[in-house]
A and B are shown apart, each in its own frame.
Chain A
C-alpha cells in the first residue's frame, strides 16, 4: 500500500518569506514517482514537478526548489521569496508503474501568503 503524509495543514507567511512544505511517503515499490501539484482557489490541479525514485538530485525551477531524500522517504518543497500568487493548496503525490501509476495524494498543505 502507498501512503503520503503532509503533516502541515496550513502555513501562513508574509510576502517575500521562504516557505518549506514537508512530504513523507511510504511505498514498497522500488520504482516510483513523486509529484507536487498546486491547487489555487480556482480549483484546478496544476502539475509542478515529477521525480523518479532513482534520481535524488535536488531541483530548482525559478523560486521553487525540491529536496528528495530516499533515506528519510521525504520529498520537500520550498518556495523562495513567496508572493501572494503562491497562495494555494499544495499536494504531494506518489505513483508506481506496478500499481498502474494511479496517484496517491497527501492531504495537502494550504499556503497563505499575506502582502
Chain B
C-alpha cells in the first residue's frame, strides 16, 4: 500500500506565473484534503473532496486558487498569478472514510521569486 504521493517536491517560480501541483492519494481513499503550511506554523486547511465532489473551501482559498479531483482519484491544485505570500508548503492528505485518520504526503514546497 503506497502512501500519498505529491508532485513536484519543490517548485520555484517567478511572481505572476501559474503553478499546478498534483496529489495521488492512497488507493481507495475517497477523501482528499489540501492544506498549506508556512514556516513555523501548523498546517491550515484549504479544501477537501469526497470522491470527485469538492465539499468545502476555506476562506484562505482566494479566487486565484482552484482545485479539482476529476475522477475521484488524483487531485490538482492550481495557483494563478502567484504572489510572494503564496510561498509555503502545500500538503495533501487522504483518508478512507470520513472518520478515519488522514495520511499526508511529503508536500510540495513553493517558492516565489
Contact = CB atoms under 8 A, between A and B. Distances in A.
A100 B42 contact: no
Interface string B74-105: 00000000000000010101010011011111
A33 B101 CA distance: 9
A51 to B, nearest CB: 11
B48 A44 contact: no
Interface in B1-48: 31, 33, 35, 40-45, 48
A42 B104 CA distance: 13
A14 B81 CA distance: 47
Given A43-B106, A107-B41, A108-B42, A50 B89 contact: no
Contacts of B31: 101
Contact of B45 (A4, A42, A43, A104): A104
A97 B99 contact: yes
Contacts of B109: 43
B107 A43 contact: yes
Interface string A40-73: 0011111100100000000000000000000000
Given A102-B48, A103-B93, A103-B102, 16 more contacts: A4-B42, A35-B101, A44-B104, A44-B105, A45-B93, A91-B42, A97-B98, A97-B99, A101-B31, A101-B98, A101-B99, A106-B42, A107-B41, A107-B42, A108-B40, A108-B41
18 contacts: A4-B42, A43-B106, A44-B104, A44-B105, A45-B43, A46-B104, A47-B104, A91-B43, A100-B55, A100-B56, A102-B56, A103-B43, A103-B93, A105-B43, A105-B44, A106-B42, A107-B42, A108-B42
